[in-house]
Amino acid sequence: MRIKKFRAKNMIEALKKVKTELGEDAVILDSGKVDENGVSYYEVIAAVDEREPQIEVNPSHTPDFSEHENSNMEILKKEILEIKRDIKLLLKSKNSFGKYTYLLKEGVPEEIIELLEKSEKSLKEFLSETLQKKGVSPLSKVQIFIGEPGSGKTTFIFKLAFWLKIKKNAKVAVLNADNYKIGGKEQTQKLAQLLEIPLYQVDWDDFGDKYNSLSKNFDYILIDTPSLGKKFSLYELTELSQAYPFLRFHWVLRASENSKNLFNLWKEIKELPLENISLSFLDKLYSGFSLFWLLLPEIPIPSYASTGERIPEDFERLEKERFLNYLLKGTEKLLN
């Protein structure tokens, strides 16, 4: 069974897309109007059975009477088997279509839904097994932190620095390379004083020299950067990774952000040496469905989380069972 979502400017175009890609046998599961980034679309969710290819009869061959009789029997048997299979698919669809349609509406990528459909395990077992396969993300010595405006990246960096200092007894320095944010230097200075974390201002022009002078004295060097946007773009990130191959990127994303937007941003930055993902504002998470896209095999598993505004208390290492609980939040419809 193949399920796919289609969007177009009007319903007629959306239905044409369904017919073109899925064929005449497609079944419409749901339809409606959606708004995204100020633009209205007509959305159709459709499904089609992926049947095995049928055996074609050669029209040039003229069988005798007995062969014709045997052929009719074979065709009848084949039709009965197809009917049985269709009934099984129909019974399955009554149990699964609503579930999977609901996931699509929640923004869960089609790739994850396909993996769920193929799995014979319960949702909780599927999530647990997937997390187990992803393992644990490493934590390199030099990390450059990236994030969108409002992600809480700067505060998160100092929470992580303090956690490493207390829990790992590590020597940690924070480098501030954000020269655009209004009041940014003052904010980082206050956090550094509060948590007693060494802080250094740095420009990329002299980063090499600054790194060489600090690397011998610290176990971890965490680098704060401007928020992603026009002033700090993917092009500049790519240049940094090429100029300093030892850099590893750490993406701080807002857990309550629209999952489609985050998934699209991931597609843009995935060629970078992205080693870690951490979640901010996890206490504001409405539903675990918005985190399901992080289960894709190629995406690093989230390692740390900011769970509130208190500094440095609201911070935690995202162990497997803890992250599983967040993923299961609001999933009662699938568990029952």
**Is the same domain home to 256 and 143?**
yes
Q: What is the pLDDT along the chain (336 residues), one digit of tens a residue?
A: 677 888 888 767 777 888 888 887 777 777 777 777 777 777 878 777 765 555 454 555 555 555 555 666 777 777 677 666 655 544 444 444 445 667 777 778 888 888 887 887 888 899 999 999 988 888 899 999 999 988 999 999 999 999 999 999 999 999 998 876 666 678 889 999 999 999 999 888 888 888 888 989 999 999 999 888 877 788 888 988 899 999 999 999 999 888 888 988 999 999 999 999 999 999 998 889 899 999 998 999 999 999 988 888 899 999 999 999 999 988 876 655
Query: Going by DSSP bridges, is the β-strand pair 302-306/315-317 parallel, antiparallel, or unpaired?
Result: antiparallel
**Is the same domain home to 244 and 196?**
yes
**Is the same domain home to 207 and 295?**
yes
**Is the same domain home to 32 and 72?**
yes
pLDDT of residue 315: 94
**Is the same domain home to 38 and 95?**
yes
pLDDT in tens, 227-275: 888 777 888 889 888 999 999 999 999 998 888 889 889 999 999 999 9
pLDDT of residue 131: 92
295: in domain: yes
pLDDT of residue 91: 47
pLDDT of residue 94: 43
285: in domain: yes
Contact 202, 177 (CB under 8 A): yes
320: in domain: yes
112: in domain: no
pLDDT of residue 120: 77
Distance spanning both ends of the chain, measured CA to CA: 23
Cα four-point dihedral sign 259, 260, 263, 265? negative
pLDDT of residue 83: 66
**Is the same domain home to 203 and 317?**
yes
Say what angle helices 65-105 and 110-118 make with each other, to 10 degrees: 120
Domain boundary residue, one of 90, 105, 120: 105
**Is the same domain home to 296 and 149?**
yes
**Is the same domain home to 219 and 139?**
yes
DSSP conformation class of 52: P
Contact 289, 106 (CB under 8 A): yes
pLDDT of residue 97: 45
pLDDT of residue 168: 93
pLDDT of residue 93: 44
Integer-rounded Cα radius of gyration of the chain: 27
110: in domain: no
**Number of domains making up the chain:** 2
Contact 78, 56 (CB under 8 A): no
118: in domain: no
**Is the same domain home to 95 and 161?**
no
121: in domain: no
pLDDT of residue 81: 72
pLDDT of residue 96: 47
117: in domain: no
Domain boundary residue, one of 105, 139, 174: 105
Question: CATH no. for residue 323?
Answer: 3.40.50.300
**Is the same domain home to 98 and 155?**
no
Contact 142, 248 (CB under 8 A): yes
**Is the same domain home to 80 and 150?**
no
**Is the same domain home to 263 and 192?**
yes
pLDDT of residue 303: 92
pLDDT in tens, 178-218: 876 666 678 889 999 999 999 999 888 888 888 888 989 99
Domain that holds residue 237: 131-335
